[in-house]
Structure 1
């Protein structure tokens, strides 16, 4: 594989993109900083196909990234391969309003070929190539210029290894017949709605002990206010107000701006400054959370109850057994909310009752719920035991 020099000019980038434009796939990775900003600061982009690899400096003065972004979001003839690429895709979406498509994530691919839920990149490289990575440059300051050779070599290694692993992984997925297991997951990763941050939904990320419509309405308003403040100032959300402080303000709203000076987690200056005034306006304009947005009161899912919770636990045990037998990650096969829905007697419109998930697990889960299978210990291992003829 040819490793190209660091690309820091528009002409060199255009030439490189033309060179790889006929590839079947490209491996993609980014280096970025976001500790002190709301928006991730893109510092380096690494690209490789099976013959060429390069690191691209998006911070280079005057560089035009259009050829690369066009390749990533508009060329659907090339598969874009990432590892744990959620944040990489988010950066591309923020820059273009589009996501790379089609997409393949090797972290998700590994879930179909082993029991690891979220295998790290170093472990992936070791497992497939037998290479132990030098992690020394991992936490470097990627925004500082000039980048040294060790940093660039480390960054390019992320995509050169990925370009070797992907064909091997794809071959194994084809041989095991599990490639189609990943179709839904990859489409979800490429769905622009997955990366479109809606301030009106920001409250859903905040833990709140209250289930009162007025308190949750205030939490929704405050979370949206903080989201907009953080964006406009390009600061992390926690630098504006921390989650626990927002939840406390929503549950115990101050009667006046002057009272903000006594709120733990806020500076005393908030009782008289503009940002404190905007916070109070958000509280004053908050509305009761509508019924259709209210979170379910049961921590184990709607309508589950005590007996249903026990059934859900048995389903999770069954899932552990099945994932061990298949040597596949349990989270890929079924999610907890689907198991709890089935335990509560709601088997419509849940993913484990459809397609390959039903074939490898859903049918057995239904048999367990309906009393046709149970558990037994054989040769020291917990296994499924047939009680009566399984369902067709």
Structure 2
């Protein structure tokens, strides 16, 4: 593969992206820093197609990233390949308001191929290519310039290996017929709704022990204020105001700004400065949460007492056995709450009762709940047996 020098000018980048635009796929990775900022600070973009690859310096003076971003978000003819690409996709969304599409994530694909629940990149490279990665540059300060050869080799290596792994994974998915198993997961990763940090929605991420409309109204207002302040100051939201402190203020609102000095987790200076004044304005003017925005009450799981919990445990055991037998990560097949719902007698809108999940696991899960499945040890291995089959054999 042809590895180019660091691209740090607009003309070279445009020519490079023109060539990549003719590819069936491109492997993509990014390096960024976000420990001290709200927005991830993009420091490097690595991209390649199997024939050539390069690192692109978004911090280079005057470089125009438009050809790269057009390739990632507007060119539907080129598949974009990531590994655990959520944060990479977020960066592209922050820059463009769009997400890369179509998209393929090798970590998700690895679940369908039985390579683990959340296999790391180094382990994937070892499993698929038999190569060991040099991890020495993992903790590089990618924002610092200049970047040396070892850092750039490490960074570009991520996409050169990825470009080699992808066709092998695709071939295995085709041979096993499991490509369709992961389509929905890929679409979820590319859904722009996952990356829109809407201030008015941010309260839903904060845990609070209350369902009172006035408390939740304050929570919504304060959380939205925090999000806007954090974005404006480019600070991590938790550094500005931690979730626990935010929830405490919503539950026990201070009577005036001076009282902010007594709240654990707030700087005492907020009792008299502008930011404290803005917070108090929000607290004092917050409206109760409207009825149509109240979070739904958690439904009690009918019948999921001690016996139901035991059935749930048996379903987890069944999932472990079936996942091992078919060579797929259990997490891709079923979620824990789905098993609880099934154990409680629910049947509607459960993914495990539709499509490939039903064929590979859901049918057996129903048989277990309805008394047609048992467990047995045969040849030293735990197996699933169908009682109706046993009865037929006995007859």
Aligned length: 388
Aligned to 2:339: 339
Q: 1:105 maps to what in 2?
A: 105
In structure 2, the residue matched to 1:287 is 288
Distance in 1, Cα, partners of 2:192 & 2:211: 31
- Cα deviation, 1:165-215, whole Å, max 9, x if unaligned, reads 000111111111111111111111111112112223222322333444443
**Does the aligned pair in 1 maintain the 2:208–2:247 contact within 8 Å?**
yes
- Closer, same or farther in 2 for the Cα pair 1:342/1:201, shift >3 Å? farther
Higher mean displacement: 245-254 or 133-142: 245-254
Where does structure 1 lack aligned partners over 5 or more consecutive residues? none
Residue 19 of structure 1 corresponds to which residue in structure 2? Answer: 19
Contact 1:312 1:339 in 2 (8 A): yes
Superposed counterparts of 1:1-392, under 5 Å: 1-114=1-114, 116-284=116-284, 285-288=286-289, 290=291, 293-294=294-295, 296-297=297-298, 302-303=301-302, 305-306=304-305, 307-388=307-388
Residues 205 and 234 (structure 1 numbering): CA distance in 2 closer, same or farther, change over 3 Å? same
Distance change in 2, residues 1:291/1:76 (3 Å)? closer
TM-score by length of 2: 0.93
Local SS of the residue matching 1:53? strand
For 2:141, what is the secondary structure of its paired residue? coil
Per-residue deviation at 1:364? Answer: 1.2
Give the drift of 1:289: 6.2
Q: Residues 324 and 135 of structure 1: is their aligned pair in 2 closer, same or farther, counting only changes over 3 Å?
A: same
Alpha-carbon distance change, 292 to 354 in structure 1, aligned in 2, over 3 angstroms: farther
Distance 1:292 1:303, change over 3 A: farther
Aligned-partner Cα distance in 1 for 2:287–2:376: 55
Distance 1:315 1:265, change over 3 A: same
From the superposition, tell whether residues 69 and 116 of structure 1 become closer, same or farther in structure 2 (CA, over 3 Å).
same
- Whether contact under 8 Å (2:215, 2:288) holds in the other structure is no
Deviations 1:215-239 (A, max 9, x none): 3333222222211111111110111
CA-atom RMSD in angstroms? 1.9
Q: Could you list the per-position Cα deviations for residues 73-129 of structure 1 after superposition, in whole angstroms to 9, with x for gaps in the alignment?
A: 111111100000000001001111111111000000000111511000010111111
- The Cα offsets for residues 267-298 of structure 1, whole Å up to 9 and x where unpaired, read as 11111222222222332314146366325457
Question: How far 1:12 sits from its partner (Å)?
Answer: 0.3
Answer whether contact 1:20 1:49 (CA < 8 A) is retained: yes
TM-score, with length taken from structure 1:
0.94
Conserved 8 A contact 1:296-1:302? no
Q: Distance in 2 between matches of 1:302 and 1:214?
A: 28
Structure 1 residue aligned with 2:393: none
CA distance in 2, matches of 1:32, 1:53: 19
What CA distance in whole angstroms lies between the structure 2 residues aligned with 1:53 and 1:331? 33
Structure 2 unaligned spans of 5+: 391-395
